[in-house]
A and B are shown apart, each in its own frame.
Chain A
Amino acid sequence: MVLRPPASPRLTDVDALELRGVVKRLPGPPDPVLDGVDLRVEQGRTFGVVGANGAGKTTLLRIAAGLLRPDSGTVTAGGLDPEHAPRAYHARVAMLSADGGLYARLSVRRHLDWWASMAHVPRARRAAAIAATLDGFALRDLVDRRVERLSVGQRQRMRLAMTFLPHPSILLLDEPDSSLDDDGLGLLAERMREHAARGGITVWAAPERNAAALECDELLLLRGGQLERTA
C-alpha cells in the first residue's frame, strides 16, 4: 500500500482558540451584546454557534477575528492575541463575513491572485493553492468570469474560496451556508472536514434553523449575551 502525502500541511501552530469573559457593548443597545462569553475550541474541533437575529453571533466572530476589541475579557489563539500581535494573529485566523467582500468588476481568478498576496501565501505555493481552491469550491469553469456575473450562490462559493485559500489555522465562518445549493453545501462540508482533519479550528455561526445544514462537534446557543450548550 502506498501512502500519499497529505494535500496540505497539518495546522499545528494554534493549539486552541480561547475567549475568556468577553464583554462587548455596541453603540445603540443598552445591554451588552456579549456579556461574559467563555469559549475554548481546540485543534481539529468545529463549533457551531446559533442564535436569533441580533443575538451577537457576528459580533462574537468579529471579536474572535480581532476585528473588534472586547470591552473586557481576552481573546487568544495559540498564545497570540490580536491586540499585541495583530499580523501574526491575522496570518492564522480567517473570517468569512455574512455578505460583501467581493469586487464586482474583478474576475474570480484576479480575486484569488490578489487575496493570495494579501494573505501572504508564499509565491512558490500560490499557483497550487489557487488551483486547489478553484477545484475545492467548483469554481474552475467560472475562473475568468467577473463577480458581477456570478449568481448569489456562486458568489458565496467565491467568498468561501478566498477564506479557505491561505489554509488558516482558524476559520470563523459567518453564515457559511448562505445561498448555497446542495452541491455547494456538500463542498463546504468536505472542506470543513479536511480542515478539521489537518488540525484546524472552525467556529461557524448561523441562525438556528440553518444549524442542521452544517456539521459541528459542539453546538452552542448564543442568548442574552451568553453561550449555552445545546443538548
Chain B
Amino acid sequence: MRARLDAAWATLRRDTAIFLSYRTRVVTTMFSALFSVVLFHFISRLVNAPSVGTPDEYFGFVVVGLAVLEVLTSVVVLPGTTVRQELVAGTFERLVLSPMGALGSVMALLLFPFVFSLVSAVVTIGAAALIFGLDLQWSTVWLGPPLLFLGALSFAPFGILAVALGMQAQQVVAGTGFVLAGIAIVSGAYFPPSVLPDWLGWTYDVQPFSPSIELMRHVLIGQDMSQSVGVALLKLAGAAVVLLPLALWILGAALTRARRRGTLLEY
C-alpha cells in the first residue's frame, strides 16, 4: 500500500512539473478563474430577484457554484482527456505495465487535475472575497475543503465511467462536455432550481452535484438549504459508496476486455 501511495505521489509531482513547465499556463488558468469572478460580479449588479436576493447575495451564490463546477470538471471531464493524452503519447503502455497496474495508474493520473481544481476553487472564492468583498462565513469556511473532497468522490464515478467508455469506443467521450453543460444547468450552479420548468425540475434532486453545491453555499456563505444537511451529506456519501466501486469495477472490466481484444493501446 505504501509503495502505491508513493507512486501516486510521484505521479502528482510529475504532472505538477509538466504543468509548471508551461509557465504561461499557470497565469492563464488563474486569470480565467479571475475573469469569471469579475464577469459575474458585474452581471450580479443587474440581478435583483426574489429567488436569489440582492446583487451581493447572487454574487456569492454564483461564485460558489463556479468553484464547485471547477472541481466537477476536473473529475468528470479531465479523466478521459488525460488518459487519451497518455495513449497518444505512447506512455499509457508503460503505466499499464508498472506494478501500479492500469487501474492504479489511472487513479494516480487523476490526482493532479483534482488537486489543481481545488487550488483553482480556492483562488476563485479568495478573489471574490478579497477583490469584491464576498462575505464569507468564517466560522464554517474550514468545512469547505472536506465537503468539496466528498463532492469530488461522488462525482468521480462519472469521470471513471467516461474513461471506461473511452476504452471501448476509442473516443474521448466528447459526451462528457455535454453532460457537464447539462449538469451546470440543472444543478443550480448559476441559478436556483426554482427557475427551471416543471418538466425539468426533478433533475435537481437526482444527481449528487446539487447537494454538493448547496452544502458548499451553506458553509461558505451561510445560505439556507432546501434539504437538511444530513440528507445532503447522505446523498453525497451514498453516491460515493455505491457508485465509486461500481465505476471502478466497470473500468477494470473495460481494461480487461480491451486487453483481450487487443485494443488497449488504440485511441
Same complex: yes
Q: Which A residues lie at the B interface, using CB under 8 A?
A: 24-27, 59, 65-69, 71, 86-87, 90-91, 93-95, 97, 99-106, 110, 113-120, 123, 146, 162
Evaluate whether A114 and B98 lie within 8 angstroms (CB atoms) in the complex, with A106-B17, A146-B21 already known. Answer: no
Instruction: Find chain B residues with CB under 8 A from A66 CB.
Output: 97
Instruction: Find chain A residues with CB under 8 A from B14 CB.
Output: 103, 106, 110, 114
Q: A93-B97, A97-B94 are in contact. List 12 more A-B contacts (CB 8 A).
A: A27-B262, A67-B264, A68-B260, A86-B101, A97-B90, A99-B90, A102-B91, A103-B18, A106-B18, A114-B13, A117-B6, A146-B21
Evaluate whether A90 and B9 lie within 8 angstroms (CB atoms) in the complex, with A97-B90, A120-B3 already known. Answer: no
CA A24 to CA B261, docked complex, whole Å: 9
How many residues of chain B get a CB closer than 8 Å to chain A's CBs?
33
* In contact, A101 and B99 (Cβ under 8 angstroms): no
Question: How many A-B contacts if CB must be within 8 Å?
Answer: 93
> Which of A68, A99, A118, A120 touches B262 (beta carbons < 8 Å)?
A68
CA A5 to CA B51, docked complex, whole Å: 78
CA A103 to CA B259, docked complex, whole Å: 24
Instruction: Find chain B residues with CB under 8 A from A162 CB.
Output: 94
Instruction: Find chain B residues with CB under 8 A from A69 CB.
Output: 256, 259-260
27 interchain pairs (CB within 8 A)?
A: A25-B262, A67-B97, A67-B264, A90-B97, A90-B101, A93-B97, A95-B93, A97-B93, A100-B91, A101-B94, A102-B89, A103-B18, A105-B18, A105-B22, A110-B14, A110-B17, A114-B11, A114-B14, A115-B94, A117-B6, A117-B7, A117-B11, A118-B99, A119-B98, A120-B6, A123-B6, A162-B94
Closest to A71 in B: B260
Instruction: Find chain B residues with CB under 8 A from A104 CB.
Output: 89
B65-107 vs A, Cβ < 8 Å mask (1 yes, 0 no): 0000000000000000000000001110111111111000100
B225 CB, min distance to chain A CBs, angstroms = 43
Instruction: Find chain B residues with CB under 8 A from A119 CB.
Output: 98-99
> For A69, A91, A146, which residue has the most chain B Cβ atoms within 10 angstroms?
A69
B263 on the interface (CB 8 Å rule)? Answer: yes
B48 CB, min distance to chain A CBs, angstroms = 48
Instruction: Find chain A residues with CB under 8 A from B10 CB.
Output: 113-114, 116-118
A39 CB, min distance to chain B CBs, angstroms = 19
* In contact, A27 and B97 (Cβ under 8 angstroms): no
CA A116 to CA B3, docked complex, whole Å: 11
A176 CB, min distance to chain B CBs, angstroms = 15
* In contact, B97 and A94 (Cβ under 8 angstroms): yes
